[in-house]
Structure 1
Amino acid sequence: MKTTDDQTRVPPASPGPGGDATGVRPGAATRADVRNTLGHLRTEVDGRRFALKLALCALLTGIGAVLATRPHLAARVPGVILLGCMFAHAAELQHQTLHGLGFRGRRANRWAGVLLGLPMLISFSAYRATHLRHHRDLGTPANREFFDYGDQYGADRPRSRTRVGRDWLVRFSMLHHYGMFLVDAGRALRGADHPGETATTSRRIRHEHLLVVATLVALTAVSALVGSALVGWLWLAPLLLVAGPVHATVELPEHFRCETLNEDPFANTRTIRSNRLMTWFTNGNNFHVEHHLMPNLPIERLPDLHRQVRHRLLHFHPSYVDFFRTLVRR
């Protein structure tokens, strides 16, 4: 397997049926080959399992909220950190609903996705439309992602240290995302359509942005009535100081400095195996090559697919720490 300083060799698995370590026939490297050979990994969507994920996220969010409203900083700071992490985790759960893999019903997926995206100012309908096009267009010049980190994929060109530092500040602060939210919220308040989307999708995007604005206004009003900075401790501080940087940390590596003009998912996407805690936190999105190979595969089956294709991975790291350590050394 080809490796570079951005890659870690994965030891081959033991041979499977047919003599190949993955169960994929020898020489197969395309998405169609993988889907045809490993289609048996697809199982029914398990709504009960997703409901348990939502319940755990809600429980941890509630604990964070209680801590963040305590009078002492020793409780508030951990509360803000926990809330921010849960905001980012909710966005990863939202990703599951985009593909209709949370619940079996389309309406249930949509409303779960709307609520999961609310803390990070993410419109479910806008994210879904953009994300599905991303799956279709990745590897072509038409590819666009919902989350804009500025220099999205880390163009390898000479830059000053000041420029490099500024680029990373923009990426981890997610300034582009918040700026786009303000633009889209303005459109929603004016009743304007969302460019490039159908009338139905535009209407849903407007409604979702209005819901976020209404929630923010309501929490601000409650804060004013009780004479407390609740909106700051329960939303703005967790969002800006924790959720944004954490979200960028786990999502930016997915395609960063991969061959993004190559339509082969093995070339344009990265997998990070990591540990069970991070696999839970990212909701399996760390197995990102696998997700792009089979986008409709239930999230719980991505580790199974990883075991089948791991020796073919070109962009792979055993942990997020290893990815960023390798990136810094470059």
Structure 2
Amino acid sequence: MTQLALDKPTLRPARDLLTTSPLETALVVGYALLLFAAPLGLLVATLELAPQAWPLAIPLLLLAAYGLFLQGILGHEGFHFNLSDNRLNSCLLAVLLSSMLAGFCVTGYFVDHWQHHRYNGSPKDPDWRLLRRYRLALSRLLVSRLHATAWYLLQTVRLALPRANVSGTLPLPDRQIRLLARANLACQVLWPTLWLLLAAKWPLLLPAIAGCLLLALLISALNAYQEHAFEASVVMPVARSRTARLSTWLHLGSNYHLEHHLYPRVPCWRLPRLHRQLVASGWYEGRQALLEPHFFGALRYCKARFPYAGAWQAMPPRGNHGQ
């Protein structure tokens, strides 16, 4: 067994890495929406004018799918309170944007995700319990995310009920979580209604969005294993950072997932800067196993020989890295 020494870095992020910025939030949201809408609109317009141009569909759909996937990333960031100084506003924006992913309810995800940070990689980690059961690449890609999405939806429905109680320690009062759950379910109706209205004018829009959703589902499923699947010989790794520039563009910086676990209050688009500071400090020396420098090289972590979170065995707690 290989046990990595994962003591928390002594590096303290500068205040500008931690402070929310309305301008940055607007730019980041705009970037994610543009990455989704521009290739999708170009595809629909092109196929309406020239149906024989269908070979353009795959690359344009893939780009749009990454833009749609980023709405889920923004949902994650909003519930880490990185989109606004006001926690509730950050979460409401997260709900609105992430609901573009049909069926994905970020409120139910948030309840599990907070425990994921607290118990990362151990049997108390909800993600460990859910994702470790899938070993083959096909089941990881096609089943794991459907399972997780259905679970988050059920959790959100439960949380939306009057007097619903939330298990575990969370940074929001129950009444706000109930409000967010209800807003989440409303937005799950809002976005499909908007697509149907737009499809009355552009009929090709619906199959194009369906294709984007399918690809975004696959991207999201693969992403979980790229972040947390390690060789079976590695004991309790925290997470992996993927450092390819293409990963940063397509993942909005969330590809630096180890940095996120170490400093979850740093917005994902600032994680590349934090990573460079950690490298300069020497913290990564001897920890290269936690880095993946190649965009396509990261695809291999979907294979069975990389179990979710490596090997787990009873060990002294690493300490809480904060939420």
- Structure 2 counterpart of 1:176, from 123, 144, 147: 147
Closer/same/farther in 2, CA of residues 74 and 322 from structure 1, 3 Å limit = closer
Aligned partner of 2:266 among 281, 286, 297: 297
Query: What residue number does 1:83 align with?
Result: 64
Q: Secondary structure at the match of 1:279?
A: helix
What's the counterpart of residue 92 of structure 1? 73
1:210 maps to 186
Q: 1:105 to 1:185 in 2, by over 3 A?
A: closer
- Matched-pair contact (CA < 8 Å) for 1:273–1:318: yes
Are 2:127 and 1:145 equivalent residues in the alignment? yes
Identity fraction in percent: 21
* Count of equivalent residues: 285
Larger radius of gyration: 1
Q: In the aligned structure 2, how far is the partner of 1:249 from the partner of 1:69?
A: 27
1:273 paired residue among 243, 260, 266: 243
1:211–1:194 distance in 2 versus 1, CA, 3 Å: farther
Query: Does the 8 A contact of 1:149 with 1:170 survive in 2?
Result: no
Aligned residue for 1:39? Answer: 12
Q: Residue 239 in 1 paired to residue 213 in 2?
A: yes
Kindly state the Cα deviation for residue 310 of structure 1 after the two structures are TM-superposed: 1.6
Give the whole-Å Cα distance in 1 for the aligned partners of 2:98 and 2:142.
21
Q: 2:35 aligns with which of 60, 63, 72?
A: 60
Partner of 1:159: none
User: Contact conserved, 1:99 with 1:296, CA < 8 A, in 2?
Assistant: yes
Deviation of residue 134 (structure 1)? 1.0
Q: How far, CA to CA, are the matches of 2:81 and 2:58 in structure 1?
A: 35
Measure, in 1, the Cα distance between the counterparts of 2:194 and 2:160. Answer: 16
Structure 2 residue aligned with 1:322: 297
> Are 2:228 and 1:255 equivalent residues in the alignment?
yes
Q: Shift of residue 193 of structure 1?
A: 4.5
One-letter code aligned to 1:130: D
Distance 1:295 1:53 in 2: 18
CA-based RMSD:
3.7
Report if the CA contact (8 A) 1:258-1:269 is conserved. Answer: no
- Do 1:139 and 1:261's aligned partners in 2 also have CA atoms closer than 8 Å? no
TM-score, normalization: structure 1?
Answer: 0.70
8 A Cα contact 2:225 2:301, kept in partner: no
CA deviation string 1:268-309 (max 9, x = no partner): 3222222x2311322222222222122223431432344132
Is the contact between residue 139 and residue 260 of structure 1 (CA under 8 Å) also seen in structure 2?
no
The aligned amino acid for 2:30 is A
The runs of 4+ residues in structure 1 deviating greater than 6 Å are 188-192, 258-263
> Are the structure 2 counterparts of residues 181 and 289 from structure 1 closer, same or farther at C-alpha, using a change threshold of 3 Å?
closer
- Out of 284, 293, 297, which is 1:310 matched to? 284
Q: Give the SS at the match of 2:127.
A: coil
Q: Deviation digits for residues 57-97 of structure 1, max 9, x if unmatched?
A: 22232312312322132555444333212011222233222
Give ranges in structure 2 of 5+ residues lacking alignment.
169-173, 306-323
Displacement after TM superposition at 1:135 (Å): 0.6
Distance 1:239 1:329, change over 3 A: closer
The alignment status of 1:219 with 2:195, answered yes or no, reads yes
Please give the alpha-carbon distance, in whole angstroms, between the structure 2 residues aligned to 1:327 and 1:125: 26
Secondary structure of 2:63's counterpart equals helix
Greater displacement, 181-190 / 52-61: 181-190
| Range moving further from structure 2, 102-111 or 319-328 | 319-328
Give yes or no for contact 1:272–1:317 (8 Å, CA) kept in 2: yes
For residues 233 and 14 of structure 2, the distance between their equivalents in structure 1, rounded to whole angstroms, comes to: 27
> Alpha-carbon deviation of 1:181?
5.7
- State the one-letter code of the partner of 2:183: H
